[in-house]
């Protein structure tokens, strides 16, 4: 049996990785964008607003944001993943 490669072995850094975050119901788009920008920029220096693409669901109840993040190392990836999962406005990550 072969070992499954770890994420750090599959990526070559710096690595551009799109992260998709879905908001909870009723979260305003501007607030969601601002919170994601602030959180991501604290973990990944140089991350800026143009790197966020935001879309509302067909019903307008939820928002999905795609963050185009260039990680310098695997530690940044894991730190952002944990922070987004713990954020009160984020319902799920894809």
10-35 pLDDT, tens digit each: 789 999 999 999 999 999 999 999 99
Confidence of residue 88 (pLDDT cuts 50, 70, 90): very high
Indicate whether 58 belongs to any domain: yes
Token pair in block for residue 12: 């070559």
> Residue 12, SS3?
coil
pLDDT confidence of 63, banded at 50, 70, 90? very high
34 located within any domain: yes
Given this model, what pLDDT does residue 20 score?
98
How many C-beta neighbours within 10 Å does residue 22 have? Answer: 17
Q: Tokens 């975050």 label which residue?
A: 21
Which structural domain, as residue segments, surrounds residue 22?
11-93
Is 4 part of any domain? no
The CATH number that applies at residue 79 is 3.30.70.260
Higher pLDDT, 82 or 4: 82
Nearest partner of 56 among 33, 77, 73, judged by Cα:
33
What is the domain count for the chain? 1
Q: How far is CA 3 from CA 6, 9, 51, 57, 83, in A?
A: 9, 12, 35, 39, 28
């Amino acid at each position: 049996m072969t070992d499954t490669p770890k994420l750090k072995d599959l990526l070559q850094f710096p690595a551009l990785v799109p992260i998709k975050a879905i908001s909870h119901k009723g979260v305003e788009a501007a607030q969601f964008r601002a919170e994601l920008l602030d959180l991501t920029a604290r973990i990944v220096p140089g991350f800026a607003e143009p790197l966020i693409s935001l879309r509302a669901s067909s019903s307008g109840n939820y928002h999905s944001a795609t963050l185009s993040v260039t990680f310098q190392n695997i530690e940044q990836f894991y730190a952002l993943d944990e922070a987004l999962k713990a954020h009160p406005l984020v319902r799920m990550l894809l």
